[in-house]
């Protein structure tokens, strides 16, 4: 088993003694000997082998702290630890010196006056690993020149005394001090393990994101970098010290804004990995700035992400498929209406669309959305008249688990939440009951929703486009529609003209609808045109669409005549016999002319035999004269 706690000592003879104590106590502590000049090399090796906490004594803890940041437990001497070795030294000579780093030892200053008066005590000063050995030997030589015959101290003093041939007594530490040190080391190890777990979690999060994430200090030195950022910026793998930001991202604007403490939003920079979109947020600890986080997006990735978002919206049904190009009709009134709607698309204001059934209210709503800045976000449409009053509130605002009988076990987001950042189209808004109108008004005012059965407030950013075929002013006067909601909705208004007020658009729109139903080219006889343009079309474009579908279902003729129109409109009984013969004559002659008198092609186009064509032509010849 790899030990994560290591006791490191500069006194080789002490290794077995320490091992026995740790083994007797059942502690998995690794014991390592090191020479002073190789202490940092040995510490690095132990860290590579899995050591996370060090135990050391004397001057070793301070030497390690000069270079390394891992936790170190200082195995401190107690006053009583000095008594036995000092007495042992006095048995050898009355000229004794105690040397070492004892200034901060536990209870040493308190009991120092109780030591023998003729005992020379030498406090070592600060030193480094490279000159420590020489420094200790120099201090031992000094006491020897003062007549000292026996020295007392730790491992470093022991080696110096050995080289100089001076009698030496080693200061050991009580067994309880070792136990106390290991318990402290285990505490530090638990803290380290928790911190390492949190660090690995953060690393996993950073490594899991598809954007490049880069953290810099206030000096713009890179301190953290995820794999995507390393790839984009051509940085070395982890383990190497990262260079300053200016070397890998030499963009003057970025560096200047970071120095000035300003946030960066959607700034395009050039780097070895290509053009990147850069955003930044500042890091604060205890309300003091300590650095910044840079988020790097590949421009191609942004485009791909937008495509994926659009695809998901399409799959979920929350998207707008129509634009202003899909709106047929070139009449002056329609051109003016489209122009007004295009201007509305440039704003974020609420739009209220008035129009009879079938005039294209949702078509205009989708077109406004697709021409707005919200085009890449959801378009959610709801027909308020199609949802039972008892469910409308929960459908609009959502509900939580157990909100009502029959509710889904995990609750559900409402249409406002689903349309967040996009557009919510409320068709037939005049059908909303007064109770729901009140909640709807609050959402429009506060831009917040609360799910049914919940008290948590959810912020939403939604543009509202509403539509109605009712006279809402009249509904307000009758008390069926809230006046405050009406004025909140009709910030921008759009009135869609019915077909009867733009009869010039009937045939162009009909040709589009026929193509959608499989009839790519169609010609209308004069009688058919007159009949179509004189109809009232109370269902407007929706009724016209139904008519086109019926025409394609009952005939495959390229020429649409009055007979066919009356059949599709179910007006056959109103047509006098002479008019029927005239319409048939016009239809046959038109096809014949188009085929330059070729009767076989004409018959094939009309779906009849050549013989039948000859007979019909013969029947109408007297009429031609």
Q: Are residues 167 and 185 in the same domain?
A: no
Q: What was the pLDDT predicted at 609?
A: 63
Q: Are residues 332 and 433 in the same domain?
A: yes
Burial per residue of 204-216, b for 16 or more beta-carbon CB atoms within 10 angstroms, e otherwise: eebeeeebbbbbb
- The reply to whether 529 falls in a domain is yes
- Kindly give the parts of the chain with pLDDT less than 50: 306-307, 309-310, 313-315, 572, 574-575, 622-625
DSSP strand pairing (412-413 vs 398-399): antiparallel
Local structure of 274: helix, strand or coil: strand
- The reply to whether 166 falls in a domain is yes
Tell me which of 468, 497, 526 is where a domain ends: 497
- The reply to whether 111 falls in a domain is yes
Q: Are residues 339 and 466 in the same domain?
A: yes
Q: Are residues 356 and 463 in the same domain?
A: yes
Domain that holds residue 605: 503-624
pLDDT tens, residue by residue, 457-516 = 888 899 999 999 889 999 999 999 999 999 999 999 999 999 989 998 999 999 888 888
CA-CA distance, 225 to 203, in Å (whole number)? Answer: 9
Q: Are residues 271 and 413 in the same domain?
A: no
- The reply to whether 199 falls in a domain is no
Q: What was the pLDDT predicted at 477?
A: 93
- With a CB cutoff of 8 Å and minimum separation 6, the contacts of 398 are 411, 412, 413, 414, 416, 417, 449, 451, 452
Q: Are residues 116 and 182 in the same domain?
A: no
Count the Cβ atoms, other than its own, within 10 Å of residue 399: 21
CA-CA distance, 302 to 296, in Å (whole number)? Answer: 11
Tell me which of 158, 190, 222 is where a domain ends: 190
CA-CA distance, 284 to 140, in Å (whole number)? Answer: 51
- The reply to whether 311 falls in a domain is no
- The reply to whether 308 falls in a domain is no
What are the Cα distances from residue 104, in Å, to 60, 64, 123, 417? 13, 17, 10, 64
- The reply to whether 200 falls in a domain is no
Q: What was the pLDDT predicted at 625?
A: 36
Q: Are residues 453 and 466 in the same domain?
A: yes
Q: Are residues 225 and 142 in the same domain?
A: no
- The reply to whether 382 falls in a domain is yes
Q: Are residues 185 and 270 in the same domain?
A: no
Q: Are residues 381 and 453 in the same domain?
A: yes
Q: What is the pTM of this model?
A: 0.47
CA-CA distance, 519 to 548, in Å (whole number)? Answer: 9
Domains: count for the chain:
5
CA-CA distance, 189 to 4, in Å (whole number)? Answer: 8
* Backbone dihedral angles phi then psi of residue 515, each to the nearest 5 degrees: -60, -40
User: Which residues sit opposite 625 in a β-bridge?
Assistant: none
Tell me which of 497, 530, 550 is where a domain ends: 497
Q: Are residues 421 and 486 in the same domain?
A: yes
Which alpha helices (DSSP H) does 147-248 contain, by range? Answer: 155-164, 175-208, 227-233, 245-248
Q: Are residues 260 and 386 in the same domain?
A: no
């Amino acid at each position: 088993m790899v030990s994560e706690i290591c006791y490191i000592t500069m006194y080789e003879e002490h290794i077995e003694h320490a091992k026995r104590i740790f083994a007797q106590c059942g502690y998995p502590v690794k014991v390592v000997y090191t020479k002073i000049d190789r202490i940092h090399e040995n510490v690095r090796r132990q860290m590579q082998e899995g050591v996370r906490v060090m135990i050391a004594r004397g001057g070793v803890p301070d030497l390690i702290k000069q270079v390394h940041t891992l936790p170190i437990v200082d195995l401190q001497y107690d006053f009583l630890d000095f008594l036995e070795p000092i007495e042992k030294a006095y048995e050898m000579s009355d000229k004794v010196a105690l040397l070492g780093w004892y200034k901060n030892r536990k209870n040493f200053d308190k009991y120092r006056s109780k030591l023998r008066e003729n005992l020379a005590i030498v406090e070592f000063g600060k030193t480094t690993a490279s000159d420590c050995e020489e420094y200790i030997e120099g201090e031992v030589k000094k006491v020897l020149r003062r007549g000292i015959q026996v020295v007392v101290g730790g491992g470093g003093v022991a080696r110096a005394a050995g080289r100089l041939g001076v009698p030496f007594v080693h200061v050991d530490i009580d067994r309880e001090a070792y136990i106390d040190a290991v318990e402290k080391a285990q505490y530090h190890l638990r803290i380290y393990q928790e911190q390492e777990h949190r660090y690995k979690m953060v690393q996993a999060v950073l490594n899991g994101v598809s954007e490049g994430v880069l953290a810099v200090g206030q000096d713009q030195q890179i301190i953290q970098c995820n794999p995507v950022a390393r790839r984009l910026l051509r940085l070395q793998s982890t383990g190497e010290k990262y260079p300053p930001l200016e070397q890998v991202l030499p963009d003057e604007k970025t560096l200047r804004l970071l120095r000035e403490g300003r946030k960066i939003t959607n700034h395009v920079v050039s780097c070895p990995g290509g053009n990147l979109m850069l955003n930044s947020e500042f890091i604060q600890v205890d309300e003091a700035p300590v650095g910044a986080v840079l988020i790097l997006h590949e421009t191609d990735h942004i485009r791909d992400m937008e495509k994926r978002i659009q695809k998901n919206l399409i799959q979920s049904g929350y998207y707008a498929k129509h634009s202003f190009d899909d709106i047929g009709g070139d009449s002056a009134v329609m051109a003016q209406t489209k122009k007004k709607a295009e201007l509305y698309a440039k704003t974020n204001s609420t739009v209220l669309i008035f129009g009879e059934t079938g005039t294209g209210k949702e078509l205009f709503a989708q077109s406004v959305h697709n021409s707005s800045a919200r085009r890449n976000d959801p378009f959610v449409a709801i027909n308020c008249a199609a949802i039972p009053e008892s469910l409308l509130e929960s459908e609009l605002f959502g509900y939580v688990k157990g909100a009502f009988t029959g509710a889904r076990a995990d609750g559900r987001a409402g249409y406002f939440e689903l349309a967040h950042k996009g557009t919510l189209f409320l068709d037939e808004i005049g059908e909303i009951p007064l109770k729901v109108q009140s909640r709807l008004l609050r959402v429009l005012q506060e831009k917040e929703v609360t799910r049914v059965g919940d008290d948590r407030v959810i912020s939403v950013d939604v543009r509202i486009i509403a539509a109605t075929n009712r006279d809402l002013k009249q509904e307000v006067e009758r008390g069926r529609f809230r006046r405050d909601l009406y004025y909140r909705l009709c910030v921008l208004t759009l009135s869609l003209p019915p077909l009867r007020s733009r009869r010039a658009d009937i045939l162009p729109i009909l040709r589009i609808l026929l193509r959608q139903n499989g009839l790519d080219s169609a010609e209308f006889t004069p009688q058919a045109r007159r009949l179509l343009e004189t109809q009232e079309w109370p269902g407007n474009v929706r009724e016209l669409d139904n008519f086109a579908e019926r025409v394609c279902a009952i005939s495959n003729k390229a020429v649409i005549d009055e007979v066919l129109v009356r059949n599709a409109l179910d007006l056959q009984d109103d047509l006098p016999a002479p008019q029927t013969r005239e319409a048939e004559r016009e239809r046959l002659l038109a096809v014949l002319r188009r085929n330059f008198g070729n009767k076989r092609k004409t018959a094939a186009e009309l779906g009849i035999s050549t013989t039948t064509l000859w007979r019909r032509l013969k029947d109408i010849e007297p009429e031609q004269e």
